[in-house]
Amino acid sequence: MQAVHHKPAWFPNWTNSPVLLVGSGPSANVLRNLDLSRYQRDAGLRIVTVNNAFKLVPDADVLYSHAIGWWRHYEGDVHTCWRGKAIIGTDPEICKLFPDTQLLRPRIDLKVDPALPEHLRYVHTLLMDEPGVVGWGKNGGFHMLNWLLQLDVPEIILMGIDATLEHGVHWHGPHEGIKNPGVPDVVLWKHYWDHAAEDIRAMRLRTRVVNAGELSKLTAYPRVDLLRHLESKL
């Protein structure tokens, strides 16, 4: 008999809330001087930020990064700038810096050679069978996509999920002192993200995913203009 997995108690109830998922791609620059508070207040918009995107929306609902190196590098900035609600990661070491961090867990692919390092053995597809366990997809935005699908949110609006280096590495430029993505990374990101759209349809999930990033190379999600789309929800 297959085990029944219940949602962790810390999972929010966002079943009626559209979610803006903000990555750190150059497309996210449009949020620099944009006040989203009206949509948060009147349309029930929730906002999830990945890595340095929290600086664009410091009062977002969630700040997520999986890399302990990122948390150590930007610990001071998070303490100074972050005014949001929840911090989520995957590495228990993050809890030493931010004790209230909630943790997700990437799944190991048991078919892959166990002699390989753990980060090379993760599953890269969406996972829905065990809430809190997510596919890897080689980037934090993918982890948050998987988590939001597990929350059964009605809609995810992508911003800054660009999967290209044509317009720069990040909205803020390259990281200093920690690793930045290269071309092989963004090629894989695009593959995993666009394939995820097929999985969403195959699993008949109710969540609609749209892409508001003007510079994004993703091709599997309907395009929307961010402000027009948010205005339509008021």
Rounded Cα–Cα distance for residues 90 and 109 (Å) = 17
Q: Please, which pLDDT band fits residue 1 given cuts at 50, 70 and 90?
A: very low
> What is the structure's pLDDT at 3?
58
The end-to-end CA distance of the chain, in Å, is 46
> What is the structure's pLDDT at 113?
80
User: Span 118-137, mean pLDDT?
Assistant: 91
Rounded Cα–Cα distance for residues 218 and 103 (Å) = 28
pTM of the full structure: 0.95
Nearest partner of 82 among 64, 106, 105, judged by Cα: 64
Whether the CA torsion 25, 28, 32, 35 is positive or negative: it is negative
Instruction: Give the model confidence (pLDDT) of 86-109 as tens digits.
Output: 999 999 999 999 999 999 999 988
Rounded Cα–Cα distance for residues 41 and 24 (Å) = 24
> What is the structure's pLDDT at 115?
85
Residue 79, phi then psi, degrees to nearest 5? -60, -35
Instruction: Give the model confidence (pLDDT) of 40-83 as tens digits.
Output: 999 999 999 999 999 999 999 999 999 999 999 999 999 999 99
Mean pLDDT of the chain: 94
> What is the structure's pLDDT at 117?
78
